């Protein structure tokens, strides 16, 4: 077991109609001039942006808005937001959307705190952030966990680089979580979200020891819950209880509750997916599902106790004396079966992406750079390993 | 499922030697003049107070100290702390101890924010608090969860009233959790702590529905973990891993993670124990163990689904077609067996307390007043019910 810092200061308001309280929450956390940041037109059409604006108006809070954030959010939009925020003296970023919108808001918030510096330097690991303007969110997609996390992932659309920067100073001040707001999400997005949520916990679970029992218990509980409700939502997307379970699990899966005591986790699957996202603009969760089974088969022998425990406690594999290897492999197989049951791919072909070997090598090289040469806990992967996993995932 | 607010802003520094960072943490949260509050002489003898003072000195932070906080902390000591803090212009309360010391610090912190008012009024429910000075802690007992919770329990030693006041503004800014600091705790205190930790989760678990599946999974995982390590610590009190598991579980059990989505929980066992603590000054966790089995047998029929789930998922009772009632009762029996295995009582006689019927009625009447006439979720209890449960627990 390792020592750890646990810091989740985000105030969560969970339940129906929470967005009506957003003006009060912004005021509580000192916001007076707000940039409302959002994605596509659904937030406008549904009337959500209007409700948010009305809630801000009720508190007499100034606001401007900027939509158009895309999945795998672009640095260009971040720069647009920075300019707009500066012009309007913005002191609070309000993200209305999912992880992409929240991450775009966090990036703007970092930039506003150090207005003379280029924010992309954070993502290039050239310097740490010295400050960050306050961010709050009205969550509309359960997936990224950015509403409570310290992470921020931005894609430089000019270089096709998808890069992350993690810092506790960017943890949002509040998160409004109204499960109703996720009901209209298309099935593919919903299930990609469930996959992402599970992966945030799995990345912290497959390690070379160090995890605490209480952390493992919580992680396994979150995983079983998300699996159960992901299948329910595949058939019944308007099920409020299921939306709520997945939404809250999504925040807990990535606010580091499931990493307490571990060695920092593995996160190679995430890093390798970021390259897929940067090059092919795939949906993040689906990209994770396309990589994970190959990653798992590549590393499981060196992380056997965790794969066996996962198979038994999460995937429900029965230990009937078949031996650790058979149990571990059956767990991976059952995970693939689950992905298929919720309409997720288990390789890149099923994801709709067929990179050439040159593209695979390019992705692996870019991933290696982003990882600083190597990455992983279950098994430390280097360039050649990453190439191998991409090839297995074809 | 109910909507909820989840707010746990406490920064946790978990692991060996954490107390050496306490000066930096106080500075990070704006403290410049600190009252170090602690309990008995063990914190002095062990050198812990000296290490804390050295860490504050390193950051140039002014400090005074006040020891002598007792279990079921006294209002008199709170008043002494208020005076000392006012004399010294204290702006930060640093609790070095367990729940009693943290709660005493919170009460002083409430008083300093409204220096013209009597702090006991909060505990008499005469007014809400309008402010609270910042509190941080170096935890030495895993039990109360006060290091991350919004709760504060003080005993007015003149009237023998033990009363609680809960408000998010009192949630500590930081908690230093070094499991090594709990190793010298006597077995009875350790196991009373484990009992209290479990009860914080059980109070939120036994409800008339409303709990979320993910919350139940987390609750059950915490309970199984604490049971496992409570037994290990009973035999091997210096086991670091076990101390760490219990310590972290103690914070999670009462920071409301295990209450998300529920109706606010039951908490009758806690309220009835507070009367025992007020009248007989028993150890809180042991007092809970003495009450719970009788409470459980009194209410289980009206909360059958939860008692059955608890028996199976937490106590390991096998469903072999014996029927819900038999499963529920076996779960309660197994809980008693567990209490005995860790040296805890299962009734008041074993606790060493034999109240007269007059004293029982007095406790029940006081409890009824503290509960505003009735309390409970598994089953709503009134005065006569409380009398009955106390009598069953003799």
Q: Are strands B135-139 and B151-156 parallel, antiparallel or unpaired?
A: unpaired
- Using an 8 Å CB-CB cutoff, list chain B residues near A213: 225, 228-229, 245
β-bridge mates for residue A343, sequence order: none
Q: What share of chain A is helix, strand, coil (3-state, %, to 5)?
A: 55, 15, 30
Rounded Cα–Cα distance for residues A352 and B291 (Å): 61
Token reading at B266: 């039951």
Chain A: residue nearest B171 by CA? A9
DSSP H stretches of helix in chain A: 22-28, 42-45, 48-58, 75-87, 99-113, 120-123, 187-205, 213-235, 240-254, 268-280, 284-299, 304-313, 324-341, 348-351, 357-370, 383-392
Q: Domain locations in chain A? A: 11-181, 185-392
Type and span of the H or E element at B9: strand B4-14
- Using an 8 Å CB-CB cutoff, list chain B residues near A241: 1
Query: What is the predicted pLDDT for the residue at A217?
Result: 98
Q: Are strands B92-97 and A92-97 parallel, antiparallel or unpaired?
A: unpaired
Say if the Cβ atoms of B221 and A220 lie within 8 Å: yes
| Phi and psi, residue B312, nearest 5° | -75, -50
Say if the Cβ atoms of B5 and A18 lie within 8 Å: no
Candidate from B6, B225, B257 with C-beta closest to A217: B225
Chain A: residue nearest B216 by CA? A221
Candidate from B2, B212, B245 with C-beta closest to A212: B245
Distance from CA of A214 to the nearest CA of B (A): 6
Rounded Cα–Cα distance for residues A218 and A257 (Å): 8
Token reading at B62: 């002014």
Q: Which residues contact A326 (CB under 8 A, 6 or more apart)?
A: none
Chain A: residue nearest B9 by CA? A9
CATH topology of domain B186-392: Dehydroquinate synthase-like, alpha domain (1.20.1090)
Place of tokens 């009462």: B254
| pLDDT at A209 > cutoff 80 | no
User: Per residue of chain B (394 residues), what is the pLDDT tens digit?
Assistant: 899 999 999 999 999 999 999 999 999 999 999 999 999 888 999 999 999 999 999 999 999 999 999 998 999 999 999 999 999 999 999 999 999 999 999 999 999 999 999 999 999 999 999 999 999 999 999 999 999 999 999 999 999 888 999 999 999 999 999 999 999 999 999 999 999 999 999 999 999 977 899 999 999 999 999 999 999 999 999 999 999 999 999 999 999 999 999 999 999 999 999 999 989 989 999 999 999 999 999 999 999 999 999 999 999 999 999 999 999 999 999 999 999 999 999 999 999 999 999 999 999 999 999 999 999 999 999 999 999 999 999 9
| Phi and psi, residue B148, nearest 5° | -125, -5
pLDDT tens digits for range A138-165: 999 999 999 999 999 999 999 988 899 9
Count, residues in chain A: 394
- Using an 8 Å CB-CB cutoff, list chain B residues near A252: 214, 218
- Using an 8 Å CB-CB cutoff, list chain A residues near B6: 11-12, 14
Q: Are strands B33-38 and A62-66 parallel, antiparallel or unpaired?
A: unpaired
Superfamily of domain A185-392: Dehydroquinate synthase-like - alpha domain (1.20.1090.10)
Rounded Cα–Cα distance for residues A52 and A17 (Å): 11
CATH topology of domain A11-181: Rossmann fold (3.40.50)
pLDDT tens digits for range A17-66: 999 999 999 999 999 999 999 998 889 999 999 999 999 999 999 999 99
Chain B interface mutation, best of A5, A6, A172, highest count of B Cβ atoms under 10 Å: A6
Distance from CA of A257 to the nearest CA of B (A): 10
Q: What share of chain B is helix, strand, coil (3-state, %, to 5)?
A: 55, 15, 35
């Amino acid at each position: 077991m390792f020592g750890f810092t646990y810091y989740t200061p985000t105030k969560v308001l969970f339940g129906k109609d929470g967005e009506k309280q957003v003006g009060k929450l912004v005021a509580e956390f000192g916001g007076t001039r707000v940039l409302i940041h959002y994605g596509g037109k659904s937030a406008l059409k549904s009337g959500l942006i209007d409700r948010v604006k009305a809630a801000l108006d009720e508190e007499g809070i100034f606001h401007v808005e900027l939509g158009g954030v895309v999945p795998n959010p672009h640095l260009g939009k971040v720069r647009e937001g920075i300019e707009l925020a500066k012009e309007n003296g913005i002191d609070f970023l309000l993200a209305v959307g999912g992880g992409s919108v929240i991450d775009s808001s966090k990036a703007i918030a970092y930039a506003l705190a150090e207005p003379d510096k280029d924010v992309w330097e954070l993502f290039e690991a050239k310097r740490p952030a010295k400050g960050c303007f306050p961010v709050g969110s009205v969550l509309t997609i359960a997936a990224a966990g950015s509403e409570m996390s310290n992470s921020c992932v931005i894609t430089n659309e000019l270089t096709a680089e998808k890069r992350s920067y993690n810092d506790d100073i960017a943890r949002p001040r509040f998160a409004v979580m109204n499960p109703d707001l996720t009901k209209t999400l298309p099935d593919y997005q919903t299930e990609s979200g469930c996959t992402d949520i599970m992966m945030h916990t799995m990345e912290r679970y497959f390690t070379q020891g160090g995890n605490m029992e209480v952390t493992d218990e919580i992680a396994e509980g979150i995983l079983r819950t998300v699996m159960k409700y992901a299948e329910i939502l595949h058939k019944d997307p308007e099920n409020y209880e299921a939306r709520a379970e997945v939404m809250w699990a999504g925040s807990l899966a990535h606010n580091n509750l499931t990493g307490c005591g571990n060695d920092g986790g593995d996160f190679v699957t995430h890093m390798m997916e970021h390259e897929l996202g940067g090059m092919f603009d795939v949906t993040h969760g689906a990209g994770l599902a396309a990589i994970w089974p190959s990653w798992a088969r590549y590393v499981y022998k060196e992380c056997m106790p965790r794969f066996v425990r996962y198979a038994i406690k999460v995937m429900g594999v029965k230990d009937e004396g078949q031996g650790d290897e058979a149990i571990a492999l059956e767990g991976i197989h059952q995970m693939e079966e689950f992905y298929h049951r919720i309409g997720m791919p288990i390789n890149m072909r099923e994801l709709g992406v067929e990179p050439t070997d040159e593209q695979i090598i390019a992705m692996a090289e870019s991933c290696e750079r982003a990882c600083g040469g190597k990455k992983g806990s279950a098994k430390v992967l280097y360039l050649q390993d990453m190439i191998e996993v991409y090839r297995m995932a074809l």
